[in-house]
A = this chain, B = another copy of it.
Amino acid sequence: MDERGLERRAANWAPLTPLTFLQWAARVYPDRTAVIHGEQTFTYAELQARCRRLASALARRSIGRGDTVAVMAPNVPAMLEAHYGVPMAGAVLNALNYRLDARSIAFILEHGEARLLITDREFSPTIEAALRLLGRPIPVIDIDDPLHEGGRRLGEKDYEAFLAEGDPALDFGPPEDEWQAICLLYTSGTTGDPKGVVYHHRGAYLNALGNALTFGLSPRTVYLWTLPMFHCSGWTYTWAVTAVGGTHVCLRRVDPALIFPAIARHGVTHMCGAPVVMTMLIHAPQDVKVRFDHVVEMATGGAAPPSTVIAAMEAMGFRVTHLYGLTETYGPATVCAWQPGREGLPVDARAAEMARQGVNYPTLEGMMVADPATLAPVERDGAALGEVMLRGNTVMRGYLKNPRATEAAFAGGWFHSGDLAVWHPDGYIEIKDRSKDVIISGGENISSLEIEEQLYRHPAVMEAAVVARPDPKWGETPCAFVTLKPGATATADEIVAFLRDTLAHYKVPRHVVFGPLPKTSTGKIQKFVLRERARDPR
């Protein structure tokens, strides 16, 4: 083919960027409610104007391409706006995990080279301490949200006054290069310093479309923000909901007493969250469980939803979808995709299907379970264990200023997830453990997840985690940590007897410890803390 005259030009090539979605929504749905926050609402025209104000206020301070802007906030409008306003200015959004301590925040502000910090009053104690630890001054803008009482303002002006500096009509256009950085997100990092994951515009655009398609978003979507936006850019729903002209319902904290009324009042159609969110909803007091008469789609990830949870959620009017991903993959990278006939299965059989992490999104080009050293795929037999490997356009650019970690993560042309899984004959993966969470007892690999799944079947158990305990004879043995349901009772012996009915004996924990479980800032159980405790479980 003679390709002369068929080159790229302004008419037929544009950088892929999720900023397009806001421009689109503001054109198509200018008067539709884009954001709800308490009694406050913004239309898409208003949201766009606010984001443009933010971008131009940043630009006036010479913050532009490649500069980092950090934001410490719950799911408030300012946090959503930062996902557009900051990249509009060409800058990079560093959404901070608000559950982190001051030392970690200081490390991130230093490592990420934040040029400006926007912070919510709620987190002023942590931020104040972090700023003291930080070796340099940094301009601070306060989010002075009337929906929160307490905390104090730390900065030079509040966010609304900062927006007032900007021009609501200034159209910044797309970035020059779709590979340009859009977000910087630090992994919680159970060991060592947090790593800074860099997203680009192309990946953000594609994963947002992948999510919109996979989760069935439409212009009728009303999305409730039960997932923190700092968590993988809100799994890219910050952009996906806008791509369909849906409504974002903000939520400062995950509280069933707020969630149920919001669902009923705003007609919420979709929401996301870690399994702990579902547990909270299920175990909420009856008087906060406002009824609603439609089905709410709930996407969850981080751990497989047990059948009891799925059944309880369905009984309340939710339909659960199981996703899997990591910060490094813009959040969701795989989905336990619907298959014809699944609806007809009893809940236990469906739960067994849905416990699997599934298949890659259509927008992620590659997924396999493989030997991490040789990259040879494992057999698709549901038994052979390998590491989940991902690759494609929705994998991060790499870790900021950490070439060693980047090279290790990308060894052999695949992103190494660190998660161990089996590959089923139908192509679905099922995660068995984090690499470092496998328990090796007498030379046998024991999956802590397998034991946990059985523990969750015990009627008195609300939460459970299993870790390795050093053992002079076996090398390691499993040690279980259990939180009982409110009002429920069970002894360690009863739990062990229960597990012996279904597990091989070498897999049954020698120790069962009761009490609340330590969680990471993103709601994951902190197994490294439990591993320490397991050394002396009494």
Contact = CB atoms under 8 A, between A and B. Distances in A.
A138 interface: no
A66 B362 contact: no
A414 interface: yes
Given A28-B427, A66-B1, A414 B218 contact: no
A346 B393 CA distance: 45
A9 B413 contact: yes
B213 A362 contact: no
A95 to B, nearest CB: 15
Contacts of A397: 6-7, 12
A5 B403 CA distance: 5
A219 interface: yes
Contacts of A337: 28, 219, 245
A14 B391 contact: yes
Given A6-B400, A213-B209, A410 B338 contact: no
A387 interface: no
Given A6-B398, A12-B392, A14-B393, 5 more contacts: A5-B403, A6-B400, A11-B391, A20-B362, A216-B216
Task: Determine the interface band of chain A, counting residues with CB < 8 A from chain B.
Answer: 35 or more
Nearest to A14: B365
A92 B212 contact: no
A396 interface: yes
A10 B398 contact: no
Contacts of A1: 66-68, 92, 113, 181, 184, 198, 400
A441 to B, nearest CB: 34
How many copies of this chain sit in the oligomeric assembly?
2
A61 interface: no
Contacts of A113: 1
A113 B184 CA distance: 49
Contacts of A67: 1
Interface string A1-31: 1111111111111101000110010011110
A359 interface: yes
Contacts of A4: 401, 403
A296 interface: no
A251 interface: no
Interface in A70-97: 92
A220 to B, nearest CB: 8
23 contacts: A1-B198, A1-B400, A4-B403, A5-B398, A5-B402, A5-B407, A6-B181, A6-B397, A6-B400, A6-B406, A10-B413, A12-B397, A13-B393, A14-B392, A20-B365, A24-B359, A27-B359, A27-B427, A28-B427, A213-B243, A216-B218, A219-B337, A243-B362
A179 interface: yes
Closest 6 CB pairs of A and B: A10-B413, A5-B403, A6-B397, A12-B395, A14-B365, A1-B66
Nearest to A24: B362
Interface in A167-199: 174, 179, 181, 184, 198
Give the residue among A2, A3, A5, A184 with the most B Cβ atoms within 10 A: A5
